[in-house]
Amino acid sequence: MQLAGPGVFGPPKDPHAAVAILREVIATGVNHIDTSDFYGPHVTNHIIRQALHPYPAGLVIVTKLGARRPPDGSWQSAISPQDLTAAVHDNLRNLGLDVLDIVNYRVMGAIHGPKEGPIGEQVTALADLRRQGLIRHIGLSNVTAAQIAEAQAITDVVCVQNNYNLAHRHDDALIDNLARQGIAYVPFFPLGGFTPLQSTTLSAVAGQLGVKPMQVTLAWLLHRSPNILLIPGTSSVAHLRENLAAGRLTLSPQTLAELDGIAAVIAAPLTAA
């Protein structure tokens, strides 16, 4: 998202820097890139193609469908079978691919959290596109456990992408259930998104380890469950390197217990109210 312009709309201020970030990603051995053709719109996918095409073997590009960006920059649902089919072809064209590795259907019912409602029509449309050879795998984003079960009755689901981080723990049980099924869980807003995580405990742990608080947050996610894959956004090579360094942090059981308590502290005022 951060490779597009402000508000994930329009081109970045420095397109050359965006290209440099993507090339550094590949140079460091990262093989999972999360994108969407409604970032920009089209901007991020154009930059990915410019920077990396022809793509290296083993690179997995995951895109998502379910929204469109009109000229006013707003976020609008685009969930009819016709919308989804057109979006698949847009992603294929703008990324320069013949088949998309993984396509996530992004439910737009709530801003940053799931909302119950049927998704069978949309998942069926993606399953049809998969049978046509345009999609290899199907995932879901911003969904509930019931919606995942509905989708699994139609097709295989390889990943779920929901809002989850050190303070936002509503998917704890879901993550464990998906891990038992061998399904990847990809937390969006792993660092808090538009409201970055802040906690005295987090800052204290980071100080003890000699790293930045956001690195601790990413390390906690990697310790949380073996099926978690991280997609922290970045707009600079230096920040990218900081994010990757988080994967080398080891957190002790005592430290993990301290960090686990952060969600309870943040939720306490809401419970009291």
What single-letter amino acid sits at 172?
D
- What's the token pair of residue 95? 């990324």
- Catalytic residue from among 39, 105, 164, 185: 39
Report how far residue 257's alpha carbon sits from residue 251's, in angstroms, rounded to the nearest whole number.
10
Reported as half-sphere exposure (CB side, CA atoms, 13 A), residue 174 has a value of: 22
Active site residue 55: no
Calculate the alpha carbon distances from 159 to 87, 102, 267 in Å: 19, 9, 27
Three-state DSSP at 100 gives strand
Exposure string over 200-220, b if 16+ CB within 10 A, otherwise e: ebbeebbeebebbbbbbbbbb
With residue 200 as reference, give the H or E element that holds it.
helix 200-209
Annotated catalytic residues are 39
